[in-house]
């Protein structure tokens, strides 16, 4: 049985106006899990549960084999985190931040930290408040990587970044993943990011898990369907997750491309769907052709 970095079984968490319901997820050590979903889907709540920042109302959560809420500092010493906004003290610079943070991690390496800062192009003497958002995210990543975190949890790390900063951050992550020692949970609503680095995709919507599968399987299972309106009968529509109609034609998403092909034959065209297509057609209710699975 493979060792698990993350295991969530039937976790529920209720807040006024929002509930995470019966969430079950697994991530094997050494892999990357992308958590996607629109705003308010439950991604941040899931991360809070994993980091022990919130307590599940029910269900079981294991991070590196331990309950994060009950486990002490020893577990957190094995975790790295990059939150959606840099929460490091902005009046300190990177060197000063390392000076106090390093005292908390038994496995901290000053050389690794300096080398990461250099690689990320961060001036260690510059106040964190004066760094760009992308640099602040990279600083969080540098901290996580300087104590040999076994699992890094990232909550929307690319949110609000310009394309260049996003690309640089993803390159850094890609290098970390390529080293193969670290597991990664990466929550985002920018789905292109995950197509580059995720091994598995978990899709949350309205506090519920829609699916959690290997990225390649998710992409292989879904296809975009395009064709003339005349081809869009009730039989075909029942095979679509969602569809939108435009002048003279339609575009839809299916998770049963073979069934669609057998129903519509050559009247329709099947194309590769990306994660954004899959998310949009699952989320937009005005696109729904049948109840989402």
Which residues of the chain form contacts with other proteins (CB under 8 A)?
48, 51-55, 72-77, 79, 81, 83, 85, 87-92, 96, 99-101, 103-105
CB 37 within 8 A of CB 207: no
Q: Minimum Å distance from CB 130 to other proteins?
A: 13
- By beta-carbon proximity to other proteins, the closer residue of 71 and 280 is 71
Q: How many CA atoms lie within 13 A of 225 on its CB side?
A: 36
Q: How far is the CB of 45 from other proteins (least distance, A)?
A: 10
- As separate numbers, helices (DSSP H) first and strands (DSSP E) second, the chain gives 11, 13
Kindly state the DSSP code that residue 102 receives in the 8-state scheme. G
Nearer to other proteins, 136 or 215 (CB): 136
CB of 135 to other proteins, least distance (A): 16
**Interatomic CA distance for residues 119 and 86, integer angstroms:** 19
Helix (H, G, I), strand (E, B) or coil at 189: coil
Which tokens is 197 given? 């680095």
Output 74 or 175, the one with its CB closest to other proteins: 74
Measured from the CB atom, the residue of 76 and 208 that comes closer to other proteins is 76
Please report how close the Cβ of residue 72 comes to other proteins at its closest, in angstroms.
Answer: 6
Nearer to other proteins, 18 or 89 (CB): 89
Q: How far is the CB of 215 from other proteins (least distance, A)?
A: 27
Q: Which 8-state DSSP code applies to residue 138?
A: H
State the DSSP string of 204-264: EETTEEEEEEEHHHHHHH-EEEEEEGGG--HHHHTTEEEEEEETTEEEEEES-HHHHHHHH
């Amino acid at each position: 049985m493979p060792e698990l970095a993350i295991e969530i079984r039937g976790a529920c968490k209720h807040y006024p106006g929002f509930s995470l319901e019966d969430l079950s997820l697994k991530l094997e050590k050494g892999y990357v899990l992308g958590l996607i979903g629109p705003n308010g889907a439950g991604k941040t709540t899931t991360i809070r549960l994993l980091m022990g920042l919130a307590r599940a109302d029910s269900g079981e959560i294991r991070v590196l084999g331990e309950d994060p809420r009950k486990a002490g500092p020893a577990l957190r010493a094995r975790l790295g985190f990059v939150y959606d906004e840099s929460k490091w003290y902005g009046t300190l610079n990177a060197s000063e931040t390392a000076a106090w943070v390093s005292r908390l991690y038994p496995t901290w390496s000053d050389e690794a930290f300096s080398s990461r800062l250099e690689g990320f192009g961060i001036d260690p003497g510059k106040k964190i408040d004066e760094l760009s958002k992308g640099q602040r995210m990279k600083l969080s990543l540098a901290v996580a990587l300087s104590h040999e975190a076994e699992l890094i949890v990232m909550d929307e790390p690319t949110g609000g970044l310009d394309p260049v900063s996003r690309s640089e951050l993803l390159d850094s992550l890609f290098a970390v993943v390529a080293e193969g020692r670290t597991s990664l949970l990466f929550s985002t609503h920018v789905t292109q990011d995950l197509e580059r680095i995720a091994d598995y995709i978990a899709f949350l919507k309205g506090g519920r898990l829609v699916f959690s599968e290997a990225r390649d399987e998710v992409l292989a299972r879904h296809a975009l369907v395009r064709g003339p309106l005349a081809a869009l009968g009730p039989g075909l529509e029942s095979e679509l997750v969602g569809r939108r109609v435009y002048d003279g034609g339609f575009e839809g998403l299916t998770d049963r491309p073979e069934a669609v092909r057998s129903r519509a034959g050559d009247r329709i065209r099947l194309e590769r769907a990306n994660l954004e297509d899959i998310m949009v057609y699952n989320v937009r209710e005005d696109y729904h052709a049948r109840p989402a699975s």
